[in-house]
Structure 1
Amino acid sequence: MVLYLIGLGLGDAKDITVRGLEIVKRAHKVYLESYTSILQDTRKEMEELYGREVIEADRLFIEQKCEAMLDEALTHEIAVLVVGDVFCATTHCDLNIRAIQKNVQVVSIHNAGIMTAVGCCGLSLYNFGLTVSIPFFTEKWRPYSFYERMKTNMAAGMHTLCLLDIKVKEQSMENLIKGRLIFEPPRFMTVNQAIQQLLSLEEEKKMDVFHPSTFCIGLARVGCPTQRIVAGKASDLLRVDFGGPLHSLIVPCLKTVTEEENIMIQHFAVKESDLVLEKEEDKKEDD
């Protein structure tokens, strides 16, 4: 039969398309991919709205145990719900490939994703370069290939969209080694944390990419009623409380910003009332 990959959009369960909802109501089983992104609604709220059971497909399921789901799709209509658009994450591209290799017919129902929705900040999507992902650093792991891509974009006069890391159902190294299915609390990178990591990379690599004076745009909960967009110097955005997840960061190339783009940037310019968090130097003095 068919494996349906159904985009849910960025806000809540109501953002599903009419076609997507029709499929959800008639499908043999409905799965929710729950680790590459999140909606504002809970799974229970989705079940109440859609009128049927929604099975959680977490990281372990998608990466290691989805073969049974793909086998079911050979004889039934199976729906997989994806936050955002269906192909914004490599996880879903991989799922698509595995289904095709099993001769499962795949049908995609698209929806709004962060890759296009960032146009809400006023920057033209035509002027974005390579999208990068910023992972949480650890003491022993500080990758910087994304930083090199940001430099490439800057040299080409293009804006950079930075997707910020989320950690859902992650295991500690100790639990992973011992095979214990004990998971760490969820973590969602904030605009503030991303800026701090970028500044630390610049201090370490001296690549002249990102500084406290670098102009950037912080976005939170794009597509939701509580959406927030603030534009300003990195040092100022560090003091802005962007609220709950999910967050994204844009580093524009100011040399190529058009007059129309600049109008919107000024609309979202940081205000004195936005600067509610302590400066880093003030925190150090308190310590």
Structure 2
Amino acid sequence: MLYIIGLGLGDEKDITLKGLDAVKRCEKVYIESYTSLLSFGISSDGLSTLEKLYGKPITVADREMVEEKADSFLSEALGSDVAFLVVGDPFGATTHTDLVVRAKTLGVDVKVVHNASVMNAIGICGLQLYRYGETVSIPFFTESWRPDSFYEKIQRNRNLGLHTLCLLDIRVKEPTLESLCRGRKQYEPPRFMTINTAIEQLLEVEQKHGESDTGAI
């Protein structure tokens, strides 16, 4: 059995009782580390905090492991209980939906334990959840790659009188372009987009379009 368990948005105590019970019965526990992070990160201290509460050793599942080597822990779930921990809710990222599909293809039974995610916790800002349009992701710009499709979606939401939730880029264990060309992976330092960077990029795209829709931010 593969248990995909949401951890919520705060710290190790945000796991649900149902999720904690599932973790304690699992033989192996993995935590996904690249679509989002807990408030204390996933340093050795952070992992030890989780391991102390859960009573289990935890293996960090980075992007490479989840996207390219998932069959290794999915195979383990064919003969034993395996927990896959996700910050927020399990279906807050398409990566985890894909994981369920792959597990089903291999004949692995899957149980999902939901939790709070930014998709509903954003209500704390005072804006009505029913008034949100399509959520967008804002990626880091590079010298040669400056996509702006997210801006068009913000415009569309604004024209409909809707708010927009903007998810800011997290880049953890991203291979450098040079290393990919050489066939030997080397990784960029971890980067986490700030609100200021997101606004600077939105303003750049706005100038490119020659419009004024920053009120949608």
Would the TM-score normalized by the shorter structure come out above 0.5?
A: yes
**Distance of 2:155 and 2:178 partners within structure 1:** 36
**Distance of 2:183 and 2:7 partners within structure 1:** 33
1:76, distance to aligned residue in structure 2 (A): 1.0
1:162 corresponding residue in structure 2: 166
Amino acid at match of 1:23: A
**Distance of 1:177 and 1:43 partners within structure 2:** 34
Structure 1 residues 106-163: Cα deviation after superposition (integer angstroms, max 9, x where no partner): 1110001001100000001000000000000011111111111111101111000000
Structure 1 residues 164-192: Cα deviation after superposition (integer angstroms, max 9, x where no partner): 00111112111222233322211110111
**Distance of 1:183 and 1:43 partners within structure 2:** 22
Are the aligned partners of 2:33 and 2:63 in contact in 1 as well (CA < 8 Å)?
A: yes
Name the SS of the counterpart of 1:160 in structure 2. coil
Are the aligned partners of 2:133 and 2:157 in contact in 1 as well (CA < 8 Å)?
A: yes
Is 1:7 aligned to residue 6 of structure 2? yes
45, 50, 54: which one aligns with 2:58: 54
Name the SS of the counterpart of 2:9 in structure 1. coil
1:276 corresponding residue in structure 2: none
2:155 corresponding residue in structure 1: 151
Unmatched segments (≥5 aa) in structure 1: 217-250, 252-287
Indicate the percent of aligned positions where both proteins have the same amino acid. Answer: 55
Runs of 4 or more off by more than 3 Å in structure 1? none
**Distance of 2:195 and 2:39 partners within structure 1:** 18
Are the aligned partners of 2:78 and 2:108 in contact in 1 as well (CA < 8 Å)?
A: yes
Number of corresponding residues: 212
1:101, distance to aligned residue in structure 2 (A): 1.3
Structure 1 residues 233-272: Cα deviation after superposition (integer angstroms, max 9, x where no partner): xxxxxxxxxxxxxxxxxx3xxxxxxxxxxxxxxxxxxxxx
Structure 1 residues 204-252: Cα deviation after superposition (integer angstroms, max 9, x where no partner): 1224322xxx3x7xxxxxxxxxxxxxxxxxxxxxxxxxxxxxxxxxx3x
Higher-Rg member (1/2): 1
Structure number with higher strand proportion: 1
1:43, distance to aligned residue in structure 2 (A): 1.5
Amino acid at match of 1:57: A
1:22 corresponding residue in structure 2: 21
RMSD: 1.2
Name the SS of the counterpart of 1:107 in structure 2. strand
Structure number with higher helix proportion: 2
State the TM-score, normalized to the length of structure 1. Answer: 0.72
Amino acid at match of 2:95: T
2:32 corresponding residue in structure 1: 33
